[in-house]
Amino acid sequence: MTALLRQFKDFFVSLRLTVVLLGLSIILVFWATLAQTDLGVYGVQQKFFHSLFIMVKIPGTEFPFPVFPGGYCIGGLLFINLIIAQISRLHLSWRKFGIWITHLGLIMLLVGELLSGLLQQDNDIVLDNGQTKNYAESQRQNELVITDVSDPKIDDVTSIPLDLVADLKTVQVPQIPFQIVPKQFFPNAEIASRAQAPNAPAAPATQGVGTQAVLMPLAVTVKDNERNEPAASIELVGSEGSLGTWLVSADPAMPVQKFDYKGKTWKIAMRATRRYLPFSLTLVKFSHDVYPGTDIPKNFSSLVRLHEDSNQSTREVLIYMNNPLRTHGLTFYQSGFANQDRTAILQVVRNPSWQLPYIACLLMTGGLLFQFSIHLVGFFSRRKPEVKLA
C-alpha cells in the first residue's frame, strides 16, 4: 500500500471523520429546519438534502457559491466512512455483533432515503362525491397539453413539459400540424375576467378566453398548503402563418379552449401534470366527524370504489386516517378535503423502496439493544465485587 493510499484510508476509516460528519449533519438539519419558514418543506429538501452542496448566491450577483456540504455529500461520506471502517477496523466478534447489525441497518436507512428521494412520486387525486377519475395530478408540476378531440371516443393528448414553455422554446412535434411558440410565462398568476378589473392591462392573447381576461402575476409561493398556478401566452404557428395567441393557465376555473385547424378540433390547456392509473376510482362518500361541541376533527374517511378494466373487478374500500389503501405499488392516503366536505383529496404515493426503512429500523433497534445489553451486563458483573469490598 502506498503512503498516499494509506493516508487516504486512514482518513476515511477514522472515528474523527464520523464525529465531524455527525456534527455537520446536525448543523445541516438545524439550518434546514430554520430555513423552512422561508422556503417551505419542499424547497428545503431540494436545497439542503437532495444536493451535494448548499449553494448561496454571492450578494449582488446571480452566481451561486457552495457554502456548506449538502445531504448527498454528508450522507455519501458517512456511507463511505461506515463501510471502510466496518471492513478494516471492526473485526467480526460477538462483542461487536450489535455494532455490525446497527451499522448494516444504518447503511440500509441511508440507501433507502436516497432511493426514496430519487424514486418517490407524490400526486393528489381530488374527487367530488360520486366523481370517477383514472388519473392523479401532480402537487407541483404542470404541463401544457394540446389535445386532438376530433374523435368523440378517443382524445389524442400531447403533453409539453413546462420547462420548455418557461424557457420560451419553440416546440414542433410530428403529432401536431403547428408549432407551439411560448411568448410569455408566469410561474404563478391569477386570471380574472376583464369585466371584474376593467382598468388592468389586457392579457396577451388574440384568441380564446384570454381576450376577455386580465392576468395578474403573483409571487411564487413555497407554503405547503398553497399551489402555484402558472400561466403563459402561447402563439400557435401553422404552415401558413400564425393562428393567434392563446392565454393558458393552470387555474382549475379556466374554461376549455377549443379551435379548428385543418379539419380537426383541438384543445389547448395548461393543467397539473397527470399520471394515469391502471384502474379508476370513484368517491362514494367522504365523511368528516368532529367531537361534539367542538371543531376538533375526530375522523376523516373516504369510501371509494375501485374498478379495474383489465379484469372487470370492482371493490369498495374505506380509506381513513392511519389506514391507507395499498394497491398496484401505489398507496392512497386521506390527505385533505374541500368544498364543504363534498370533496376528498387523496394523496397517491409511489415509493418502490418503502419497505427499506422498516427493515433498517428493525436491524438497528436489534443491534443497539444487543450492544447496550452487553454493556449493561458487563457493568453489573464488574460492579459486584466492588460492592462486596465496600
Partner 1 sequence: MKKFIPFLALVIAVLVIAVSVTPVKNSTAFDLVGFGQLPVLSNGRIKPLDTVARSSLLQLQGKQSVKLSDGTKLSPEAWLLDVFFRPEKADTYPIFSIHNQELLSLVHKGSANESSEFLSFKDFIPYLQSIEDQAKLAGPIEEKSRTAFQRSVIQIAEDLMLYERLEHTIEKPGTTDFLGELLQFQKDIPAGVQAVRLKQEGKAHDEVIAQKVIEEGKQFMDLSQATTIMVIPSADPVGHPSQWRTMGQSLLESFEQGGIEPSALAFAGIGYAWQKQNADQFNQLIPLYRDELNNGYAKALKKTSVETHFNTAEPFYISLCLYTLAFIIAIISWLKWPDSLGRASFIFVLSAWLLSTAGIATRMWLEGRPPVTNLYSSALFVGWGAVALCLILEVVYKNAIGSVAAGLIGFGTLLIAHHLALSGDTLEMMRAVLDSNFWLATHVVIVTTGYASTFLAGFLAIIYIIRGVFTHTLDKATADSLARMVYGIVCFATLFSFVGTVLGGIWADQSWGRFWGWDPKENGALIIVLWNALILHARWGGLVKQRGLMCFALFGNIVTSWSWFGTNMLGIGLHSYGFTEAAFWSLALFVLSQIAMIGIGNIPLKNWRSFKANP
Q: Of 112 and 210, which CB lies nearer to partner 1 in the complex structure? A: 112
Is residue 2 close enough to count as binding partner 1 by CB under 8 A?
A: no
Interface residue with partner 1, options 6, 7, 11, 41 (CB under 8 A): 41
Of 206, 211, 343, 347, which one interacts with partner 1 (CB under 8 A)? 347
Distance (Å) of CA 355 to CA 28, 118, 291, 325, 359:
26, 15, 35, 15, 7
- Pick between residue 263 and residue 385 the one whose CB is nearest to partner 1: 385
Q: By CB under 8 A, which span of 58-66, 134-142, 169-177, 346-354 interacts with partner 1?
A: 346-354
Separation of alpha carbons 170 and 191, rounded Å = 24
Q: Which grid coordinates belong to 266?
A: 383541438
Buried b / exposed e over 21-43, threshold 16 CB at 10 Å, is beebbeebeeebeeebeebbeeb
Distance CA 223, CA 225 (A): 6
Using the rule CB under 8 A, which residue among 61, 379, 385, 388 binds partner 1? 379
Shortest spacing between CB 383 and partner 1, in angstroms: 7
Nearer to partner 1, 57 or 375 (CB): 375
Do residues 191 and 250 lie in contact, with contact meaning Cβ atoms separated by under 8 Å? no
Stretch that binds partner 1, among 26-34, 144-152, 167-175, 302-310 (CB under 8 A): 26-34
> Do the strands 64-69 and 53-57 form a parallel or antiparallel pair, or are they unpaired?
antiparallel
46 touching partner 1, by CB under 8 A: no
Stretch touching partner 1 by CB under 8 A, among 52-60, 171-179, 197-205, 285-293: 285-293
> What DSSP string runs through 154-179?
--EEEEEEHHHHHTT--B--TTSSSE
- Residues of this chain, 115-154, that bind partner 1 according to CB under 8 A: 116, 120, 122
d(CA 128, CA 274): 17
Q: Could you tell me if 98 and 368 are in contact, meaning their C-beta atoms sit under 8 angstroms apart?
A: yes
Chain centroid to CA 220: how far?
17
Grid coordinates of 329: 405499488
Site string for partner 1, 301-330 (x = CB under 8 A): --------------------xxxx------
Q: Note whether 200 binds partner 1 by CB under 8 A.
A: no
Cα end-to-end span (Å), the chain: 53
Could you tell me where the DSSP H helices lie in the chain?
A: 3-13, 15-44, 71-88, 97-119, 162-166, 356-389
**Site for partner 1 contains 19 (CB under 8 A):** yes
CB closer to partner 1, 257 vs 351: 351
At its nearest, how many Å lie between partner 1 and the CB of residue 7? 18
CB 85 within 8 A of CB 25: no
Q: Is 94 in the site for partner 1 (CB under 8 A)?
A: no
Answer yes or no whether residue 354 interacts with partner 1 by CB under 8 A.
Answer: yes
Among 112, 182, 210, 230, binds partner 1 (CB under 8 A): 112
Asked if residue 15 binds partner 1 (CB under 8 A), the reply is: yes
Residues lying near partner 1 in the complex (CB under 8 A) are found at 14-16, 18-19, 22-23, 25-26, 29-30, 32-34, 36-37, 41, 44-45, 49, 112-113, 116, 120, 122, 291-294, 296-300, 321-324, 331, 333, 335, 347, 349, 351, 354, 357-358, 361, 364-365, 368-369, 372, 375-376, 379, 383
